[in-house]
Structure 1
Amino acid sequence: MQLIKVTKTLVFIYALNKEETHTFDKKQVISLIYRAWRNYILEIVAELKVLGKKIANFNSFFAGYSPDGADIYSSTVLKNSFVFGLNELFDLGLSKHEMIIVFQKGEHHFAIVKYGIHQYANMFGMEKNALLLDCRTIESQPYEIYINGYDLILVNSNVKYDLSESTYNNRREACEKISRLLGVDIIKDSTKENLDHIKNKLT
């Protein structure tokens, strides 16, 4: 990926291996229908604007050779790359934690997907460590893991992963409904006994 400041009036993005481009006015960032990687970048620019972070126009060139939803074209990798790159290019002064919030709120406000923690491992992951993440405080603790004697197998299912087209919001709303029934902020604050008391109310 390359990011370059420009004096032009528009932002220009070029996905090299796809030979696809997108040009937009950062003063009027509008979500696109079925435009995949373009929306990932627009989300970041829109949320930086909400936070009052000033960025000038720029050109960007990037490449990745995995299918949509994977590698550089996954929302996690592309958004993290852009928020990190723009932070450096324009001296925005964002910490890694603040960049995670930009990513998360961008999905909430722009993509209308109540998600945004899956990028945490991409930003804070440590070699030979697992992260215990508290999604309420968005803080984590690394724990060293030992997997000697085990093999990890990655399988390409050829199923496109796209939260904006999934039922993730429905599943989250179901969890929030159960939390209200339990009288807690989030389900992790409950106990098995409390769940047993409301199981007849669940369908």
Structure 2
Amino acid sequence: MLEEFDRRHGGEPEGVWLAPGRANLIGEHTDYNDGWVLPFAIDRGTYAAVRRRDDGRVSVATTAPLPALEVGLDDVGPGRVEGWAAYPLGVLWSLRQDGHDVPGLDLVLHSTVPSGAGLSSSAALTCSVALAVDELLGLGLHRSDLAAHARRAENEVAGAPTGPMDQLASVHGAQDHAVLIDCRSVEVTQVALGLEQAGLALVVVDTKASHQLVDGGYGDRRRACEEAARALGVPALRDAMLDALAAADLDPVVARRARHVVTEDARVLEVVDLVRAGRPREVGPLLDASHASLRDDFEVSVPELDVAVDAAHEAGALGARMVGGGFGGSVLALVPQGQEEAVGQRARERFAERGWDAPEGFVVAPAAGARRVR
């Protein structure tokens, strides 16, 4: 990345910042329903090399085979930038909207988060830029404020209707901890998982199935949740009770969407109780229940995800579920240490039987949040 920066701009950046991607232990599609989520920052992320310039223009480039772009700061805003560059440029727009004097910048980005795997490569990108600009300019923003700017960039400039989870996990992550987020109050609590002490590991199986959040499926699910909350007379599905949901005269599809959210919130809090009690091995069945709910009630799974979950169980996983927005992406499996490689191998065998492209399995470890690395 430093070589790319020197090739494009001559010399070195003023600094390099890293923001991690995230995996979500449990709590899917609850974030935009004011609920609870339990993600963790992973040991893969996006690096942002940044240097100021004095002409009011921004150059954004990446080490990936994507087109670079140079624009004036005044030309950045909702509906005015397309493609991948909308994410980093959207962060600068959000900071300027909040009254911060953002100068022209040269940015070169490098990511180790698999794109489209449901591991929030977009939040890693936006959070790395937000932290870089904050520290480079000495803005002194709270980490949750940085996450809010990163989310606003995704929502309003890139057009991805994400909740607050991804960005908060990226900036608040801690080694060996998950991050319990109350998505209504945006209160963040770090929760020790104790996986290593319990002889457990987490494996991601990237199915390579297309995963795209800026699509109709995600928006349809979100609208169904909002419709259910209105019908139940609650501010958000976080406030709904299962018995009231069962008694309500809802469209059957809307009712299933709401049932997933209500039961998933309960699963998040149960997982927190288990790990705090030193019983992380008992989390497995809750991961399985989460996947079943996402598959059957929320209907965001796809065959590749279901096969990967089954393969993980065949390889000895204690529990497994799809992670991310759905319609593709990855599976997260809780496995006894020593079984990590077997999960990926079994998934590759199952995919080969069906003539699908080979998935990739790799271990993820709860890691520190966004930080300066150079």
**Do these two structures clear the TM 0.5 threshold for a shared fold by scoring above it?**
yes
Distance 1:71 1:177, change over 3 A: closer
Aligned to 2:202, what secondary structure does the other structure show? coil
Distance 1:83 1:197, change over 3 A: same
Distance 1:161 1:200, change over 3 A: closer
Quote the residue 1:156 is aligned against. Answer: 206
CA-atom RMSD in angstroms: 2.4
Counterparts of 1:201 and 1:69, CA distance in 2: 32
Name which of structure 1's ranges 18-27 and 169-178 shifts more when overlaid on structure 2. Answer: 18-27
Counterparts of 1:200 and 1:17, CA distance in 2: 46
Same amino acid, percent of matched pairs: 23
- Residue 177 of structure 1, aligned match among 215, 220, 227: 227
Matched, 1:196 2:243: no
Amino acid at match of 1:32: V
Is contact 1:11-1:26 (8 Å) kept? yes
Aligned to 2:206, what secondary structure does the other structure show? coil
- Residue 100 of structure 1, aligned match among 133, 137, 147: 147
Number of aligned residue pairs: give it.
Answer: 201
Counterparts of 1:28 and 1:93, CA distance in 2: 26
Q: Per-residue deviation at 1:80? A: 0.5
Q: How is 1:52-131 mapped onto 2 (pairs within 5 angstroms)?
A: 52-64=99-111, 67-69=114-116, 74-117=121-164, 118-131=166-179
- Residue 193 of structure 2, aligned match among 145, 152, 176: 145
TM-score, normalised to structure 2's length? 0.49
Is contact 1:65-1:71 (8 Å) kept? no
Counterparts of 1:160 and 1:3, CA distance in 2: 31
Aligned to 1:175, what secondary structure does the other structure show? helix
TM-score, normalised to structure 1's length? 0.87
Amino acid at match of 1:11: V
Runs of 5+ unmatched residues, structure 2: 1-47, 254-374
Matched, 1:40 2:87: yes
Distance 1:40 1:158, change over 3 A: same
Question: Which structure shows the bigger proportion of residues in strand conformation?
Answer: 2
Amino acid at match of 2:167: Q
Q: Per-residue deviation at 1:15? A: 1.4
Q: Per-residue deviation at 1:168? A: 1.7
Per-residue CA deviations over 1:84-129 (Å, capped at 9, x if unaligned) read: 0011112222110111111222223223333142122111111222
Runs of 5+ unmatched residues, structure 1: none
Name which of structure 1's ranges 100-109 and 193-202 shifts more when overlaid on structure 2. Answer: 193-202
Per-residue CA deviations over 1:44-76 (Å, capped at 9, x if unaligned) read: 112112211111101112223555346999211
Amino acid at match of 1:141: T
